[in-house]
Amino acid sequence: MFLCYAESVMNRYLLVFYALSLQLPAHGVAAQTNGYCIEFDDDGYGWNGSSTCVIGNNPQGTCEDPDGDGWGWDGSASCRIDFQMQRCIDTDGDGWGWDGITSCRADGVDVEDTFFIVTEGCVDTDDDGWGWDGSASCRIGEQPAGLCVDSDGDGWGWNGIASCFIAPAENCIDTDNDGWGWDGLATCITGQPEPEPPSTCDEFTDLVFQTASRDECAALQALYHATDGDQWQANDKWNTESDPCHWHGVYCDANGVSDLNLSRNNLNGFIPEEIGDLNNLKVLELYGNELSGSIPDSITEIPSLAVLLLYDNQLTGSLPANIDALQALSIFVIDNNQLSGNLPSGFGRLNTSVLQISDNQFTGPIPDISADSIAGGIYNLARNQLTGPVPESIGRLVNLQALVLSENQLAGPLPVSLQNLVNLQGLILFGNGCFTADDPNLVAWLDSFSVTWNDGCLP
């Protein structure tokens, strides 16, 4: 009943506003100082677009009450004949009236309660599930706020707070594809809401990945959570797009995730063991972040890994003992961390073109080098705490272009095999203990690069 009454009133208001907007008199309209006065029920009172009005001209200031209800018209606005401010007048017998300030209850509720009806008190007089809380229509029962539910198909519904309008879907703009949008007036529905994207890889049961496997997805998510992914500088589509190949910094080929580049991206945390599940990875770039903890042993389980860049972090601990399992590794750069311990024997079996472990805290001797060659590039062990002599096997690196062993604690006779490095363009040995060379040809060869090769022998 309340909805029908509300709809009737609304239609009347619309008629009034329409008539006023055209500036044309409607049926039953008499001229008033505030505009046209439209009378619907022949009671001598109408509406002029802004307030109650009376049909006829009364001298302004004289309040006339033709029907004895305590309210009248003074020529410009509604006025009171009686001064019983607690009187709630119900003109249509529905239990609701007007007290001069707001809607009020006229059906047995204490009069003092009619002035300020608490919003959480939703009174449903006709048991249709809808009521009035003293300021707006309300619903008996709970409805999630923000969702406009139209239970009777009349185009109007309830969103948990107020009445709302269900607009035609073609006018409803849904910006986030959740099935709900905005029509310029109220929340609206565009159709069946799309399912929320999965939050974990275990929920991807009905999705077809482009190329990435479920294990690769889980490994990426483990990295995300271990390095505070919500605070990354860029984390576009991580955990929202169903295909990991579309996530920021993730690149795929026909076999799966091939390249992960999250360098200088505010990663803060540790590299999880799950990184080893990226078994198709060729390039891993995590440099320039705030990573701590050790390099996980599982990283050596990525047989295709060719480029490993972890420099400019705060990594600690020692290198994985079986680092030489990375047979495809060509570029290995981990300088400027806090790594320590002896270099494992497998370090000497790495066949890389660029190897940089400078600015760490590695100790002990340089392992014997058993790799046959390095395909040109750099062998940089500077600024550690390495001790002992330079091994004779260094001469196997025949394609080396730069050998940097400066600022360690190396000492002793330099091997003649250094002269096998026929492609060498830079040799930096300063800042160590006392190096010696007995072979005149070796001395001349060393001097050709720098006369400071034996500065550690100076008193």
CATH of the domain at 253: 3.80.10.10
Looking at the fold, whether 237 and 370 belong to one and the same domain comes out as: yes
Query: How many helices and strands in the chain, by DSSP H and E?
Result: 3, 32
End position of a domain, from candidates 36, 68, 83: 83
pLDDT for the residue numbered 452: 86
- Given 83, 117, 135, the domain boundary residue is 83
369 and 220, same domain (yes or no): yes
Q: Which residue has the higher pLDDT, 75 or 338?
A: 338
C-alpha of 167 from chain center: 30
Residue 218 in domain:
yes
* pLDDT beyond 50 at 9: no
Average pLDDT over residues 322-337: 94
207 and 343 both lie in a single domain: yes
By residue range, what is the domain housing residue 23? Answer: 1-83
Quick one: 244 exposed, middle or buried, by C-beta within 10 A (0-12, 13-18, 19+)?
Answer: buried
Per-residue pLDDT, averaged over 301-321, amounts to: 96
Is residue 104 a part of any domain in this protein? no
Is residue 258 within 8 A of residue 279, CB to CB? The reply is: no
Domain membership of residue 262 (yes or no) is yes
**Residue 173 belongs to a domain:** no
Q: Confidence class of residue 104 from pLDDT cuts 50, 70 and 90?
A: low
Contacts of 68 (CB under 8 A, 6+ apart): none
Question: Can you give the pLDDT at residue 243?
Answer: 84
Is residue 304 in a domain? yes
Between 75-84, 90-99, 437-446, the lowest mean confidence (pLDDT) is in 75-84
- Out of 83, 113, 135, pick the residue that ends a domain: 83
pLDDT above 70 for 294: yes
Contacts for 153 with CB less than 8 Å, ≥ 6 apart: none
* Amino acid (one-letter) located at 138: C
Task: Summarize the confidence of residues 46-61 as an average pLDDT.
Answer: 60
Under the banding of pLDDT at 50, 70 and 90, the label for residue 120 is very low
Assess whether pLDDT exceeds 70 at residue 450: yes
pLDDT of 158:
67
Q: Is 441 helix (H, G, I), strand (E, B) or coil?
A: helix
Beta carbons of 305 and 327 less than 8 angstroms apart: no
Rg (CA), the chain: 42
| The pLDDT value given to residue 17 | 35
Domain count within the chain: 2
In a domain, 428, yes or no: yes
What's the predicted TM-score (pTM) here?
Answer: 0.58
Tell me how far CA of residue 96 lies from CA of 2, 45, 90, 104, in angstroms. Answer: 10, 19, 6, 6
For residue 420, is it within any domain? yes
Q: Which of 10-19, 141-150, 158-167, 203-212 has the highest mean pLDDT?
A: 158-167
Residue 190 lies in a domain: no
245, 394: one domain = yes
Structural contact between residues 352 and 328, judged by C-beta atoms closer than 8 angstroms: no
What is the maximum alpha-carbon separation in the chain? 130
The stretch 77-88 carries a mean pLDDT of: 54
**115 touches 99 (CB < 8 A):** yes
Asked if residue 434 and residue 294 are part of one domain, the reply reads: yes
Residues 242 and 371 in one domain: yes
The predicted model gives 43-48 an average pLDDT of 65
For residue 59, give Cα distances in angstroms to 31, 48, 122, 200, 315: 14, 17, 42, 76, 90
Average pLDDT score over residue span 50-63: 59
* Sheet of 256-261, strands arranged across: 250-253, 256-261, 283-285, 307-309, 331-333, 354-356, 378-380, 402-404, 426-428
CA distance 358 to 343: 12
Task: Report residue 254 CA to chain centroid gap.
Answer: 28
Inform me whether the pLDDT recorded for 65 exceeds 80: no
- The two beta strands, 163-165 and 156-158, are antiparallel
